[in-house]
Structure 1
Amino acid sequence: MKYTKRYQGGMFLFLFLAFTTAAIGQVVERNQQEFSEFMDRSGNRYRSAAGIPGPDYWQNRVDYSIKATLDDQAHTLTGEITITYTNNSPDALPFIWLHLEQNRFTENSRGTLTTPIEGNRYNGEVDGGYEISNLEAKTQRTVSSKHIINDTRMQVWFEKPIKAQGGTATVSMDFTYKIPERGMDRMGRIDVEQGTIYAMAQWYPRAAVYDDVEGWNVEPYLGAGEFYLGYGDFDYQITAPYDHIVVGSGVLVNPNQVLSPLMRERLAQARKSDETVFIVKEEEVDDMSIRAKQSGTLTWHFEMENTRDVAFGSSKAFIWDAAKIDLPSGEKALAQSAYPKESAGYEAWGRSTEYSKHSVENYSNRWYEYPYKVATNVAANVGGMEYPGLNFCSWKSKGERLWGVTDHEFGHNWFPMIVGSNERRYAWMDEGFNSFINYYSTLDYGEYPASLSKTRNMIGWFQSETREGIDTYPDATNLRNLGMTAYRKPAIGLLLLREYILDHERFDNAFKSYIEAWAYKHPQPADFFNHMENVTGENLSWFFKNWFYGTGNIDLAISGLRQTPEKDAFIVTVANKGDIPMPVKMEITYRDGTVEQKTLPVEIWQRGDTWSFLLETDVLPQSIEIDPDKLLPDVNPSNDSWPGTSFYD
């Protein structure tokens, strides 16, 4: 008799599932499309389908020698630059393109003319721009002065092309411009009580990238889109008034010429100290007796190797402090901060160096070791902007806000300074990846809340009719959406991969491997997607396509529960009512108090929008909840749970 009942129950289940399968068969083709490739991700000799550089991968090299003088009366920067360009491409290059981003600050620049009447964060002045003179372009013992300046780009022509696969050329010129007060929240100057703070970025002509994907990447600088630059060595000198402190990307190579014995002694102490040490104290800012010189100017000489850019800060108002950074290899670096007395105090910039030290050490231990000798945080009239080894953060920031912006800007040393993605086109590959690693750094620091995992707090945006996709071009993105499209949504995507779709070990192996494979190189989106799939061993096209290249939403649901005739199992039916298939993680609580975790793989949605599975138990379920940790930004949480009471009533 017992055998008969189990047989009858089995027949019932067979017929039920057969009926369900037949119904699902009508939509298999539509759902299978969700799992197919959505872009050309095939490999070639330059970029492997495994998401690593191919055997013939190449990139060109750019080395810079710059001497510049800062005039704090006229607020100008005047300099001379020599660019040594090495052409490792398979193509001879009759010209190169340079970025002249200071030309954004002119009345008729494209950036000015595409700024809305009501303005935005990227407002800039219109009385600046480069004056270029004495240009010489040399290749193969020939010299040319031919060049064309168009908006924020300059095309420099050679008498003879730069030879392919190792040919070199030099371009030299003189330049000058007025330093804008408001540099579109990226650079500029501000007056404080004890002097002017200069935040100097995009301060010299910079070579554009010539790559195997687009050739010359010469999108104009409009404002919201950031930068895409090649790698090389920098040797640069900044001549400033004698009473200025200059901090810059890279290593100060002439401390004996610009620092007094007392300042050098304090700096040496800081290099050995886990606690913050003052090189210039608040009460010493106006005390010229501790400076190296009491009149005239000083020339600060910096060098930085294998970097895509350099920036510097200069002011006679700077307090200067520093501390040691411990790196996983045993190497040491220096965290330092420069800020005015208006920003001083333990509740504000007095903790900047502490924050900086933690950030760099955390990212080095978690992902990839910090490659530079110095990490500098500069207080300026910039909300937050990153450059290799140096940040500009708001001089008004305090506490949690200062922690957040400091940690975020230092995180950018990994994306895009080490992993050199194209920020101008793919903001999500630097802002989103960085926001993701910021989440774990904040968790590890422990003093301030980390909110990225609170994805359901953002459901309003996910349902907004004006939302845009992550892949929207940054300069065209509605600024009200940029925080989500460039920062939070791609960061949430990585969070879901690590915490929900994959697991910590597989994700971390892939993500760290991606950084190592593309350190000081130029990955494209397809390279990231391919790499993650190959290292994790998962087809993730269904997620990459819908999350990174669409505006669809997640809506998983429990749509039914019924007991089998045998009373020793239940049939649970789940549904995908949204646009994005996801694995289904459930927590089942039984009436005897026991709890079971159940996960259905994402492949169930290849077979339709509903799926039924057999829950074998002779204990009555009390409740079933999808995504019990509430990590998914599920736009309809009301259908995520089955309370069970109506089943028994």
Structure 2
Amino acid sequence: MRISSWLMLLCMSVPVMVSAQQSEDKFRQLEDLLPTPTSIRAASGAPGHAYWQQRADYVIRASLDEDKRSITGSETITYHNNSPDTLNYLWLQLDQNIFKPDSDANTTATYPSRDAWKNPNAMSFTAMHTLNEKEKFDGGFKIGTVKAANGQALKYVINRTMMRIDLPQSLKPGEKFTFSLDWKHNINDGMVLWARTGYEHFKEDKNDIFEIAHWYPRMAAYYDVYGWQHKQFLGSGEFTLEFGDFDVQITLPGDHVVSATGELSNPDAVLSAIQRERLAQARNASKPVLIVTQAEAEKAEKSRATSQKTWHFKAKNVRDFAWASSRKFIWDAQGYKTGNSNGLAMSFYPKEANPLWGQYSTQAVIHTIEQYNKYSLEYPYPVAQSVNGPQGGMEYPMIAFNGGRPTKDKKTGELTYSKQTKYSMISVIIHEVGHNYFPMIVNSDERQWTWMDEGLNSFLQTLAERAWEENYQDLFPSEPRGIVDYMRSKNQTPIMTNSESVLQFGNNAYAKPTAGLHILRETILGRELFDFAFKEYARRWKFKRPTPADFFRTMEDASGTDLDWFWRGWFYTTDPVDISVDGIVQYQVSSKDPEIEKAWRRAQKNEEPISLAAQRNKSLPARRIDTQPGLKDFYNEHDDFTVTNKDRNNYNDLMKSLDDEEKAMLKSGKYYYLVDFSNVGGLVMPLILEIELKSGKKVIERIPAEVWRYNSKKLTKLLVTDEPMVGLTQDPYLETADIDLNNNSWPRKITKSRLELFKMNQPTGNMMIDFNTPLKKDEKDEKKEKSVEK
């Protein structure tokens, strides 16, 4: 179509305002969802001038009974009340109590429906083993004396996984209170009762690996947003704790090698001279140095020490303390540079983890620190450790428990590993070591918001994986297209759902936040703005406790971009992205030249399809005008597209009345396209348009999401090109997790797939056979397929 007036074109491109009933305002600000800024948490997303947080320092003395698989300990806690509030009691976390029968985790557990139990394969041996272990395991803390520094017994109440200590007198702002308690607990089988802690038993050499966490009563967090964070530990929502200094001594068999949060304070007492010498070499080495070799570890496996050693560790400004020990451990280490200081990366693993761990673990630790330093903050601690044991992946300050091992060939006994095993192991190490940054330093409330540590950390993990090698095999989706299946699902909860109420935990807390941050970085903000803002968030909240509002506000403040529409859609709803290209109309400005315009109209007429009746009428007998030539006149010799002198005169008169600028408009030759889009999914996103021109040239036009501000359901966009457009694709690089690509292109593209054929036995004799019933494959084909599989 053509229009002869610029005014008409401009009128058609003016957005139409719609009422609230017609279109929800996806761009309204988040004031109705975010807490009001205060002097503690500023409107910019930064800690306010009155920001405060509590502190807890620990002195712990503990011993491991290897035979009984139990821990006995005592601790002294100095609690600093830095809040403006007067406290009459303190809350502690007793997370080992999750193993008690009356824990909320046990009493609220649900199981598959009755229909699922009708399946004879409904219960695996592993699942039954777990049920049996739950029944017989005597878990949970057994609390002994609880007393103040002056020896006065303190009244306390245990509420399943929480413990309240009533103070003898109110703890006023600025004061501190020191108290101590004795306790013991059994250690769970970490291969059966998964709880982020436990032991792994090796039948061949009758040794264990202990990975010990949540092993001492820990101070619950008290902060301005929620007060005491004493939500019961149910298993999914993890932990939020207070920073402090730790002085920890662990007594255990003398042949155990120990990895722990902090630095070893008594190497002379627990390490041999050669081990200390190797450690010194490792600090300046260009590759990992073995502190305990595989041969030395295998020798230790075959004996049992009769003596004990006490390993002494100190850690400053950490929020937790974990450790691992075994006589099976091979130990390697390598120094690295972080900021203006030097650190030591170390790995601890059994022989069963080689050759994978010796080659990759410590390298992955150093790589993680290098990459996370680049995108967030400089690693502040002196050591970073990776331990292989029963936990598939779990993080604590300066130490991470990581899974992944080769598989022993049943015939040859050789240890081999698949590509997936290799990359999964490296990814788990990157992920868990990366948690040192989020939440071990940027101390978010994991029990409330899992995505604040898992999502942010998984996002950085994907950046680190990209820097490891090209075409890295991801553990989590590294691009938005990887979350599409989940976004299509009806079984979702918003990201901003409490940790214990989340459906599809991995997708909701890990993958969807990761995809959202990639969209922000690559499509909405661009790398420069995003990276600056993300680093600013990490810098602002280093060793502090941010909330979601602090993250949202900081990202907007530092990038200079209003992102409320994105937070609202991606984090607070389950709306998917599905933007449809509905229709396109082409316009050109009329040149007014009759020679050009009538030729154009003739060409349009010639392109019109000929009706069936008109096609048949061509075979009619001779028409009268053909048999009576005298009936023909001027109009028979010329059609509606013939240029007349009147047309030419009118054109000449018009051109005399126009100035040079107006004449140039008529001769511009531009093509104008009105493109209709609809937001089928409901989640607004930028338009990323790939425009394919007649010459074969392709142009990308990026239009901010604010294009939807007048109507979040439908819009019309004007595109201007120098030559005809032959194709248009929305989101050509799959940047936005659009769940339906079938409506993204004009003209529509054919969906391609494959149809697999196989042979069947043809039915013979029985003419009543139901052809809807699946038939068995030919036995020869089955044998062929089995041979191919082998």
Question: Which residue of 470, 473, 478 corresponds with 1:449?
Answer: 473
Contact 1:185 1:381 in 2 (8 A): no
Distance 1:565 1:645, change over 3 A: farther
Superposed CA deviations along residues 513-545 of structure 1, whole A, max 9, x for unmatched, are 001101111111111111111111111111101
Superposed CA deviations along residues 436-475 of structure 1, whole A, max 9, x for unmatched, are 0011000000163346344334322212221222122222
Distance 1:459 1:40, change over 3 A: closer
- Larger displacement relative to structure 2 (456-465 or 271-280): 456-465
The equivalent residue for 2:318 is 307
Distance 1:317 1:369, change over 3 A: same
Task: Output the TM-score relative to the length of structure 2.
Answer: 0.76
Determine if the alignment matches structure 1 residue 466 to structure 2 residue 491: yes
The equivalent residue for 2:715 is 611
Contact 1:27 1:607 in 2 (8 A): no
Q: Which has the larger radius of gyration?
A: 2
Matches within 5 A, 1:171-182: 171-182=179-190
Question: Which residue of 31, 51, 56 corresponds with 2:24?
Answer: 31
Provide the secondary structure at the position in 2 that maps to 1:336. Answer: strand
**d(CA) in 1 for partners of 2:189, 2:749:** 65
Q: CA deviation at 1:349?
A: 4.9
Q: CA deviation at 1:137?
A: 2.8
Q: CA deviation at 1:68?
A: 0.4
Q: CA deviation at 1:561?
A: 1.7
The equivalent residue for 1:500 is 523
Contact 1:323 1:335 in 2 (8 A): yes
**d(CA) in 2 for partners of 1:287, 1:463:** 55
The equivalent residue for 2:341 is 331
Distance 1:645 1:400, change over 3 A: closer
More strand per residue: 1
Matches within 5 A, 1:579-594: 579-594=682-697
The equivalent residue for 2:447 is 424
The equivalent residue for 1:10 is 6
Q: CA deviation at 1:627?
A: 1.5
Distance 1:218 1:375, change over 3 A: same
**d(CA) in 2 for partners of 1:457, 1:53:** 35
Superposed CA deviations along residues 234-253 of structure 1, whole A, max 9, x for unmatched, are 11011110010011011111
**d(CA) in 2 for partners of 1:197, 1:644:** 59
**d(CA) in 2 for partners of 1:33, 1:631:** 20
Q: CA deviation at 1:271?
A: 1.2
Distance 1:27 1:604, change over 3 A: farther
Matches within 5 A, 1:96-495: 96-117=90-111, 125=134, 126-138=137-149, 143-164=152-173, 166-182=174-190, 183-192=193-202, 193-194=204-205, 195-287=207-299, 295-327=306-338, 329-345=339-355, 347-394=356-403, 396=405, 398-446=421-469, 448-450=472-474, 452-478=477-503, 481-495=504-518
Determine if the alignment matches structure 1 residue 600 to structure 2 residue 703: yes
Contact 2:393 2:401 in 1 (8 A): yes
Matches within 5 A, 1:628-643: 628-643=732-747
Distance 1:396 1:644, change over 3 A: closer
Provide the secondary structure at the position in 2 that maps to 1:95. Answer: strand
Contact 2:477 2:483 in 1 (8 A): no
Q: CA deviation at 1:334?
A: 1.0
Question: Which residue of 51, 64, 67 corresponds with 2:61?
Answer: 67
Provide the secondary structure at the position in 2 that maps to 1:413. Answer: coil
Distance 1:88 1:437, change over 3 A: same
Contact 1:9 1:565 in 2 (8 A): no
Q: Which amino acid aligns with 2:320?
A: D
**d(CA) in 2 for partners of 1:121, 1:102:** 20
Superposed CA deviations along residues 403-434 of structure 1, whole A, max 9, x for unmatched, are 01111101111110111001111000000001
* 5+ residue gaps, structure 2: 113-126, 407-420, 590-668, 751-790
Q: CA deviation at 1:644?
A: 8.4
**d(CA) in 2 for partners of 1:427, 1:412:** 12
Distance 1:224 1:408, change over 3 A: same
**d(CA) in 2 for partners of 1:130, 1:537:** 50
Contact 2:98 2:106 in 1 (8 A): yes
Provide the secondary structure at the position in 2 that maps to 1:417. Answer: coil
Distance 1:373 1:172, change over 3 A: same
Contact 1:142 1:160 in 2 (8 A): no
- Larger displacement relative to structure 2 (316-325 or 78-87): 316-325
Provide the secondary structure at the position in 1 that maps to 2:574. Answer: coil
Contact 2:671 2:724 in 1 (8 A): no
Contact 1:144 1:157 in 2 (8 A): no
Q: CA deviation at 1:336?
A: 0.8
* 5+ residue gaps, structure 1: none
Q: Which amino acid aligns with 1:374?
A: V
**d(CA) in 2 for partners of 1:33, 1:635:** 19
- Larger displacement relative to structure 2 (178-187 or 519-528): 178-187
Contact 1:147 1:154 in 2 (8 A): yes
Contact 2:41 2:51 in 1 (8 A): yes
**d(CA) in 1 for partners of 2:429, 2:250:** 25
Q: Which amino acid aligns with 1:163?
A: K
**d(CA) in 1 for partners of 2:389, 2:728:** 52
Name the % identity.
37
**d(CA) in 2 for partners of 1:339, 1:62:** 32
The equivalent residue for 1:534 is 557
Superposed CA deviations along residues 254-304 of structure 1, whole A, max 9, x for unmatched, are 111100000111111111112111111111114469x9x964111101111
Contact 1:569 1:617 in 2 (8 A): yes
Task: Output the TM-score relative to the length of structure 1.
Answer: 0.93
Contact 2:221 2:228 in 1 (8 A): yes
Q: Which amino acid aligns with 1:73?
A: D
**d(CA) in 1 for partners of 2:438, 2:44:** 21
**d(CA) in 2 for partners of 1:16, 1:288:** 83
Matches within 5 A, 1:537-576: 537-566=560-589, 568-570=670-672, 571-576=674-679
**d(CA) in 1 for partners of 2:21, 2:588:** 29
Contact 2:570 2:683 in 1 (8 A): yes
The equivalent residue for 1:624 is 728
Contact 1:28 1:607 in 2 (8 A): no
**d(CA) in 2 for partners of 1:356, 1:645:** 46
Contact 1:103 1:130 in 2 (8 A): yes
Distance 1:6 1:104, change over 3 A: closer
The equivalent residue for 2:45 is 51
Question: Which residue of 509, 513, 516 corresponds with 2:536?
Answer: 513
Aligned length: 631
